[in-house]
Amino acid sequence: MNNVDTVSWVDLIATPSQLSRKGDRNYVTVRDKKVRQLHSALDRLSGDAFQLVHLPNRNKGRGKYEGFQLLHERGAPYGGGDNPDRYMVPSDQEHLPWLPAGLFLNGWIHLLEDTEIGFLLMLAWLHARFGAQPVFVASDIRLRQFGVGKDAYEAHRMLNRFGLVDVEEDPNRHLEDSRLTGYNEGTMPKLHRFELRREGFNEQAVPKIRSAIERRLR
């Protein structure tokens, strides 16, 4: 018998699914739908293209997904072959980028756009590299190393309105279309400086985003 107090992977899936009818008497529960979503994700992540999950019971008739294991985050090797290494939780001595738990616990992960999450990950890496201070990134670096184009870079505007990122903008940079005005010839314009506001993730995402959008529409 399963312990009702045990939290499973299925319990971590957020879905708008509802109880639905299948046939005359049978019903498909929300949990059934979550299980299908989890199995579909595991099938894809364990495929040759990603290799982020190992299914030791893949060839069994039942229990195919039992005991699945997370693999090293580098995924499938570029030159082909297998990813044999298991995922290891980083030690405290490793200077790795991290984002606050509130990103998940307070619902931000479900409401932010992909470009906004990408910008946050880039900013977290910059803080891990340069410390807790305002940081900047040149266009060639953000394109080559992070794959963050102009549209994704502009995600900082909404993140600032949500209270997740502090932005120190060049006073000579036009806010609407990034035009530069009034700077001296021969001098380089100042790049925007950004700082991750970790305390911002402590707030619930839904009311915070709704409030920011309503203020924007006034």
Provide the residue count of the chain.
218
**What pLDDT, in 10s, does the model give residues 105-145?**
999 999 999 999 999 999 999 999 898 899 999 989 999 98
- Among residues 160, 134, 155, 170, which one has the least CA distance to residue 212? 160
pLDDT tens, position by position, 141-179: 999 989 899 889 999 999 999 999 999 987 766 545 555
Q: Is the pTM of this model over 0.85?
A: no
Q: Which two three-digit tokens encode residue 158?
A: 């909404």
pLDDT band at 8 (very low <50, low <70, confident <90, very high): confident
Tell me the helices (H) and strands (E) count for the chain, helix number first.
8, 6
Among the listed residues 114, 117, 112, 110, the one whose alpha carbon sits nearest the alpha carbon of residue 16: 110
User: Taking a C-beta distance cutoff of 8 angstroms, is the pair 201, 99 a contact?
Assistant: yes
Q: In DSSP terms, which residues pair with 70 in a beta bridge?
A: 53
- Token pair 């997904």 in the structure block, residue: 65
The predicted-structure confidence for 68-98, as pLDDT tens digits, reads as follows 999 998 899 988 889 889 999 887 777 788 8
DSSP string for 107-170 = SHHHHS-HHHHHHHHHHHHHHHHH-SS-B---HHHHHHTT---HHHHTTHHHHHHTTSEEEE--
Contact between residue 73 and residue 56 where contact means Cβ atoms under 8 Å apart: no
Pair 85, 72: CB distance under 8 Å:
yes
Residue 66 has, within 13 A of its CA and on its CB side, a CA count of 7
